[in-house]
Structure 1
Amino acid sequence: MKKLNILLFSIVTMLLFAGCANNESAHEDSNAAGDDAGYNLVADGKLTFAASGEFKPFSYMEGTDMVGFDIAVGEAIAEKLGLEPNPQRAKFSGIVTGVTEGRYDIAVASHTVTEERLQQVDFSEPYYYSGPVIYTRPDSDIETEDDLKDKEISVARGTTYLEVAQEYTSNIPQVDSDVVALQSLASGHHDAVITDDVTGLTAIDAGLEVDGRFQLDVAEQAVAVNKDNTALLEAVNEALKEMKESGELAALSEEWIGGDITEEPELEK
């Protein structure tokens, strides 16, 4: 009888320890996946964010690593959320769809906030400001918006600059990236290119013979988040707010862009 009691006690003790171990493991898995914050992450313990890797100085390749301002911002957000940054390279035109379909948690890819995109994803508060600028060759006679009428204006495929160009012309060659468009312009193709001022200035610094003539508008660039992931959106906004208030966001802009583009500019009237 005594042996039977000892055996029963041993079995009960083993079951209790097994239950505690399972509970602890489940708790660890939940924390790793961010479930305790309701983030519904693509990969446990990681913030998977997409960028194109073709948009220097925002995202571009250095060997096998993707670097740039967007990547630095994505990594900083991940750190503030206690997650491992997991940047993924993707074609720009498919990034928003990737967020919608759950392939990426967020996109830190210099997306302009538009009504069309807001139907697919939610956006954070802006982390920088940009705007469409007209670039031409130095010998161009384009000086004002009126001069753009019926001209050949090239834009990068998948960008909002297509809609901007359509206000002036129907002759709009679309290419794979803003840099390709500017290179083509400098080589004698197209009458003009629409891209942001940072991309244009970077291309000029790299030796391309193009001129920035005038800015058409100011655009907000923000982080794209799946519409079903409101907890993650709130966390991203909180991280960006902290980065702005501490000066970290401006410092990253200075490091990668050479100036502070995190404050909304005013157009000259």
Structure 2
Amino acid sequence: MVSIINYTKFALFGLCAIVCLSSCGEKKKDTTVLKVGVCADYKPFEYFEKGQIVGFDIDLFNEVAKRLGKTAVYEDMSFDAILGALTSKRIDVSISSISVTTERQKNYDFTTPYLKGQYSLLVKKDADIKTFDSFKDGILGLQAGSTYEARYEKELKNKYPGLTSQVMSKIPDLLQSLRADRVSAILLGRSEASCIMKGSEGISKVDIDFDTPGEEDPGIALPKGSLLREDMNKVLLEMEKDGTISVLKTKWKIEA
């Protein structure tokens, strides 16, 4: 009888120890610091200036974190590594102009979009291009892996059978192709197109619209099932209503 009682006490002690360790582990995860993945080469949203990562997305997320009582610590990485970093828990969250697409939502959670995607074509200043009809038999420059590439595949090449594409990984390479007349125009988001145009002599921007809605609106990316999404959505709604997002858009000259 004594041995049974002792065993029971030992078992209960062990269970308490496990619960305690589990609780301690949970407390360590409940940190006020959020590790945020970004690809800091996308001016004006996230880029390096004097050794610091700055931009519209950075200011926006800093405010989100502040209202949640947290602090953001940013980690620069290649864009195609961000979602994998979320999966491996190397980062807690990412804000890096990541479009909320149906495909991405299968494996990751997103906040409601904080901007509306708008489109522009980068063209040479002497080119007579106002719409896709202006170069329906031309070549469209696209960045590899972008939602703009997906837009071409799903819509443009069917609507304009004579319009072909040149897909490249880097925007500077696409600009070089545009200057050399290897592409007729480059399809980009409106704000990034404006930034590129200002720093590129001989290049102009043509704003365009599509007939069908796309999946270019950016949101904050989170691991699947993250409890932060609901809280972040509430904060983003507050920031929209109190004008904070509008102020940031004006500061960074965001056309969305």
SS class of match (1:85):
strand
| Corresponding position of 2:203 | 210
| Corresponding position of 2:190 | 197
Whole-Å Cα distance in 1 between the matches of residues 79 and 208 of structure 2?
A: 23
SS class of match (1:112):
coil
For each residue in 1:105-164, what CA deviation from the matched residue of structure 2 results, as whole angstroms up to 9, or x when unmatched?
111111122111111212111111122322211222433323444532222222101112
SS class of match (2:252):
helix
Matches within 5 A, 1:230-269: 231-257=227-253, 261=256
1:49 to 9, 13, 36: 36
| Corresponding position of 1:224 | 221
Residue 215 of structure 1 aligns with an amino acid whose one-letter code is I
1:173 to 123, 145, 167: 167
Range with bigger deviation, 134-143 or 54-63: 134-143
1:114 to 93, 101, 105: 101
| Corresponding position of 1:130 | 117
Whole-Å Cα distance in 2 between the matches of residues 97 and 185 of structure 1?
A: 32
CA change 1:183–1:242 in 2 (3 A) is: farther
SS class of match (1:133):
strand
How far off is 1:187 after superposition?
5.3
Whole-Å Cα distance in 2 between the matches of residues 239 and 183 of structure 1?
A: 41
Unaligned runs of 5+ in 1: 1-22, 35-43, 262-269
TM-score under structure 2 normalisation? 0.77
Whole-Å Cα distance in 2 between the matches of residues 208 and 96 of structure 1?
A: 35
Count of matched residue pairs? 224
Identity %: 24
Whole-Å Cα distance in 1 between the matches of residues 75 and 127 of structure 2?
A: 39
Whole-Å Cα distance in 2 between the matches of residues 191 and 152 of structure 1?
A: 5
Range with bigger deviation, 96-105 or 156-165: 96-105
CA change 1:211–1:138 in 2 (3 A) is: same
How far off is 1:30 after superposition?
5.5
TM-score under structure 1 normalisation? 0.74
1:80 to 52, 63, 67: 67
CA change 1:31–1:101 in 2 (3 A) is: closer
Alpha-carbon RMSD across the aligned residues, in angstroms, is 2.4
Residue 239 of structure 1 aligns with an amino acid whose one-letter code is V
Whole-Å Cα distance in 2 between the matches of residues 81 and 32 of structure 1?
A: 18
Unaligned runs of 5+ in 2: 1-19, 158-162
Whole-Å Cα distance in 1 between the matches of residues 143 and 166 of structure 2?
A: 10
Whole-Å Cα distance in 2 between the matches of residues 252 and 180 of structure 1?
A: 30
Whole-Å Cα distance in 2 between the matches of residues 239 and 182 of structure 1?
A: 38
| Corresponding position of 2:143 | 156
The answer (yes or no) to whether the contact 1:132–1:161 under 8 Å persists in 2 is: no
How far off is 1:101 after superposition?
3.0
The answer (yes or no) to whether the contact 1:51–1:70 under 8 Å persists in 2 is: no
Whole-Å Cα distance in 2 between the matches of residues 117 and 159 of structure 1?
A: 12
How far off is 1:61 after superposition?
0.5
CA change 1:116–1:214 in 2 (3 A) is: same
How far off is 1:223 after superposition?
0.9
SS class of match (2:220):
strand
Whole-Å Cα distance in 2 between the matches of residues 185 and 164 of structure 1?
A: 20
The answer (yes or no) to whether the contact 1:165–1:194 under 8 Å persists in 2 is: no
CA change 1:115–1:183 in 2 (3 A) is: same
